[in-house]
Amino acid sequence: MTIRDRIHQLLQLCGEDPAAALAARIDALPLHRNEAGWIAIRDDGTFLFVDNDTGRVIEDVPAEWVREAVERAREKYPELSTSLRVDGSTRPPPSG
């Protein structure tokens, strides 16, 4: 299963789950929510932060927040665990 598949699966719950409504709005998979907002990932591997208070979407997510979200996402979405690395990257490490 891919990140895109999980986004589509979550969208089927739209209206029943706040994460589904967020996924529909930002076209990304919400991974983790903390006191400040949501961390989500797009299918291209871009991480987003969505502020709880303003709803603003920010692409410059602090690395420590990404690491925490990836760790939590591995528990919630075990089928994606091989797609998500602890450093937050969804891309394979560089060769060489």
How far is 89 from 9, CA to CA, in rounded Å?
Answer: 22
pLDDT above 50 (res 25):
yes
What pLDDT is attached to residue 53? 93
User: How much is the average pLDDT of 8-37?
Assistant: 83
What confidence tens digit (pLDDT) does each residue in 37-95 have?
999 999 888 899 999 999 999 998 988 999 999 998 888 888 887 777 655 554 444 44
Burial class from Cβ neighbours inside 10 Å (0-12, 13-18, 19+) for residue 64 reads: exposed
Strand order in the sheet with 29-33: 29-33, 37-41, 47-51, 57-58
pTM of the model: 0.74
